[in-house]
Chain A
């Protein structure tokens, strides 16, 4: 059974720092992996989708990498800003269903 883990559960860093969020999964047979952002009291917004054949995807200050063999993905955020404060979730497409991690709550201190 596919399981997705995100560590740490919470992270607080000063504004301007580069940071990395981690996502690990137990079964490497995935179709793709997605990163989402969730703001308090709101729905989820898709950030990046990495196909299983890809190694990374970039969007602005965000870069997501995927290493299927080791069951790991990272989300790199460059030059963090207070507006980046949110919960970040990863999900893997496993057998036509998304399996989700519990998320990392990120706080960027001004």
Chain B
């Protein structure tokens, strides 16, 4: 099992550009989520999904879109990148709702917005 994979590992964007961060898992997990991690702060939930076709907002959803067309994939779209979105982004999956079961994390995508 590859677990949770994320691409790219590192990306530089200019303000206003758009991009998609990819996340995939091969554990047949229903629950997937996206977090951002900023220096000196805990992880903050951006969006999550409890199954294919079902997504919901987390704590900091503005500027981001998600979709879940398959169980395996959960891409995160930045619509118009801003310097405030410079961060490390983590995708996670688990067999049930966040916190109720062990969560598995991808290696992260480091994003720099100029």
Contact = CB atoms under 8 A, between A and B. Distances in A.
Interface of A: 4, 9, 31-32, 34, 41-46, 49, 89, 91-93, 96-103
A69 B41 CA distance: 25
B40 A42 contact: no
A101 B42 contact: yes
Interface stretch (B61-69, B76-84, B102-110): B102-110
Given A43-B107, A97-B59, A31 B100 contact: yes
Contacts of B99: 31-32, 34, 91-93, 96-98
B42 A103 contact: yes
A92 B58 CA distance: 15
21 contacts: A31-B100, A34-B103, A41-B107, A42-B108, A43-B90, A43-B108, A44-B92, A44-B103, A44-B105, A46-B102, A46-B103, A91-B42, A91-B43, A97-B45, A98-B43, A98-B99, A100-B42, A100-B43, A100-B44, A101-B42, A102-B41
B36 to A, nearest CB: 11
Given A93-B99, A96-B99, A43 B42 contact: no
Name, among A32, A34, A97, A103, the residue most crowded by chain B CB atoms within 10 Å (CB to CB). Answer: A97
B105 A93 contact: no
Nearest to B98: A98
10 A-B pairs with least C-beta separation: A93-B99, A100-B42, A43-B105, A44-B105, A100-B43, A46-B102, A43-B107, A98-B99, A102-B42, A98-B98
